């Protein structure tokens, strides 16, 4: 850290002298270094620990103070407001519970909005079949969880002859995974509900929410200072240009000083708009979805997001998993799909293979699975393993 005039941190030139902090920097620290050299020792007391998300290797556990949690609960609760969910409603929380903060913070903050909560957790703590039973019995109006798990519940419901769209859920609230338009359409169709996506990170907290579906996230700029920078020069990107997101939490990092934290997200930024709606005072960011993974199969780069969008546009397909495999020294794209009841499989398989070839220049090997198979395989995972490279 260079010597800074702390009285001039609101001067952009002074602020940008602070080095950007990224995951590689954290990976280089031992546990002892992180807690004794990086973290603040003077604060109002550690309330709990939040597990770092997405960092390879041994995770760090971030100390959160009582003040951090007080502010954090409010930042999560605002997402209920953006979704239009409020007092008197009932929520079924299917986010993981435990050392990943999102599930338990969502369940705790609902109280401030007068919302009843069922702390179901993910499929690891409450099996998916039991989750469906609880939804039928307790009749929630809000379902919260990862978008991938929403799809798994919908597929399992279909296998059991349960019509989710008729169970009274009005709001689906997701976070932690990208939600493409095709995935959004599929979830809204199967749940009979409006999907609101939300954006946060363990290093900061819940940072924002959609107030208009698909338009991007309103960022709580009273709680988080964000910068969108040119990925190469690290100079401020212009409004509407794709840049790398850099975040400084203003009130929720009283132990962990994540100044100018680079999350790796590539986004576009737009200023607060014309005042239409209670959240219009906040700026928006929208993901560019350029950090999604890809398979390289026989020289073809196959983007995971592109393939997911393509598959979910086919309403005959309930769920899928894509695998890169090697058979006889030849790389192959294998699509494992679940087909909805009443669909003529041979016609679908022929059409699907032809359209994949036309769209991605690869002829896939298509395998049909019994409905509900993927939900059972996926439910033990925190995030959906929808793309798997099995080539070793």
Name the helix (H) or strand (E) containing 262: strand 261-270
CA distance 237 to 61: 32
Q: Which of 333, 311, 313, 310 is nearest to 322 (CA)?
A: 333
Residue 294 has pLDDT above 80, yes or no: no
Summarize pLDDT for 229-242 with one digit per residue, the tens. Answer: 998 899 999 999 99
Q: What is the pLDDT at residue 361?
A: 84
pLDDT at 329: 67
* Of the listed ranges 161-170, 262-271, 291-300, the one predicted with least confidence: 291-300
| pLDDT tens string 222-231 | 999 999 999 8
pLDDT value at 2 more than 50: yes
Structure tokens at 103: 């599930």
Determine phi and psi for 372, rounding to 5 degrees.
100, -10
The arithmetic mean of pLDDT across residues 372-388, rounded, is 71
Residue 55 pLDDT? 42
Q: What is the mean pLDDT of residues 279-290?
A: 84
Identity of the highest mean pLDDT range in 22-26, 180-184, 254-258, 314-318:
254-258
Q: What tens digit of pLDDT does each residue of 152-200 get? A: 888 888 888 999 999 999 999 999 887 888 889 989 999 999 999 999 9
- Whether 290 has a pLDDT exceeding 80, the answer reads no
Residues in the chain: 392
What is the rounded CA–CA span in Å between residue 331 and residue 243?
A: 34
Which among 62, 145, 64, 154 is positioned nearest to 106, based on CA atoms?
Answer: 145
* Residue 301 pLDDT exceeds 80: no
Q: Where residue 138 falls among pLDDT bands split at 50, 70, 90?
A: very high
Instruction: Provide, rounded to the nearest whole percent, the portion of the chain with pLDDT above 90.
Output: 58
Average pLDDT, the chain: 89
Q: Strands of 317-327's sheet, edge to edge?
A: 365-369, 330-339, 317-327, 387-389
- pLDDT at residue 327 tops 90: no
Report d(CA 124, CA 145) in Å as an integer: 13
Is the pLDDT confidence value at 135 over 90? yes
CB distance 55 to 85 below 8 Å: no
Interval 34-45 mean pLDDT: 90
Indicate yes or no: pTM above 0.85. Answer: no
CA 388/CA 93 separation, integer angstroms: 27
Task: Look at strands 243-249 and 261-270 and give their pairing.
Answer: antiparallel
- Asked whether the predicted pLDDT for residue 291 surpasses 50, the reply is no
């Amino acid at each position: 850290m260079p010597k800074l005039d702390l009285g001039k941190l609101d001067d952009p030139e002074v602020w940008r002298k602070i080095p950007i902090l990224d995951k590689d920097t954290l990976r280089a620290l031992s546990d002892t270094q992180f807690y004794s050299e990086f973290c603040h020792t003077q604060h109002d007391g550690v309330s709990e620990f939040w597990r770092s998300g997405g960092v390879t290797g041994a995770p760090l556990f971030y100390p959160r103070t009582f003040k951090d949690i007080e502010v954090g609960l409010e930042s999560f609760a605002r997402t209920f407001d953006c979704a239009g969910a409020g007092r008197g409603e009932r929520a079924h929380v299917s986010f993981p519970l435990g050392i990943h903060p999102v599930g338990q913070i969502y369940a705790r903050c609902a109280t401030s909005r007068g919302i009843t909560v069922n702390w179901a957790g993910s499929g690891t703590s409450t099996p998916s079949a039991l989750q469906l039973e609880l939804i039928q019995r307790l009749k929630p109006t809000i379902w919260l969880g990862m978008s991938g798990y929403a799809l798994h519940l919908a597929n399992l419901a279909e296998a059991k002859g349960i019509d989710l769209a008729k169970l009274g859920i009005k709001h689906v609230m997701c976070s932690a995974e990208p939600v493409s338009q095709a995935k959004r359409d599929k979830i809204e169709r199967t749940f009979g509900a409006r999907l609101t996506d939300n954006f946060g990170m363990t290093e900061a907290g819940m940072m924002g929410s959609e107030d208009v579906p698909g338009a991007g996230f309103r960022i709580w700029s009273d709680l988080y200072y964000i910068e969108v920078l040119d990925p190469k020069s690290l100079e401020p990107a212009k409004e509407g240009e794709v840049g790398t997101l850099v975040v400084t939490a203003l009130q929720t990092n009283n132990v962990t000083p994540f100044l100018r934290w680079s999350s790796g997200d590539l986004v576009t930024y737009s200023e607060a708009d014309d005042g239409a709606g209670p959240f219009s005072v906040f700026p928006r960011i929208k993901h560019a979805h350029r950090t999604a993974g890809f398979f390289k199969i026989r020289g073809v780069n196959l983007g995971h997001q592109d393939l997911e969008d393509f598959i979910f546009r086919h309403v005959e397909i309930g769920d899928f998993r894509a695998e890169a495999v090697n058979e006889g020294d030849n790389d192959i794209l294998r699509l494992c799909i679940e087909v909805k009841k009443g669909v003529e499989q041979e016609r679908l398989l022929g059409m699907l293979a032809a359209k994949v070839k036309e769209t991605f220049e690869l002829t896939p090997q298509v395998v049909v699975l019994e409905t509900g198979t993927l939900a059972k395989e996926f439910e033990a995972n925190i995030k959906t393993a929808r793309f798997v490279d099995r080539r070793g």
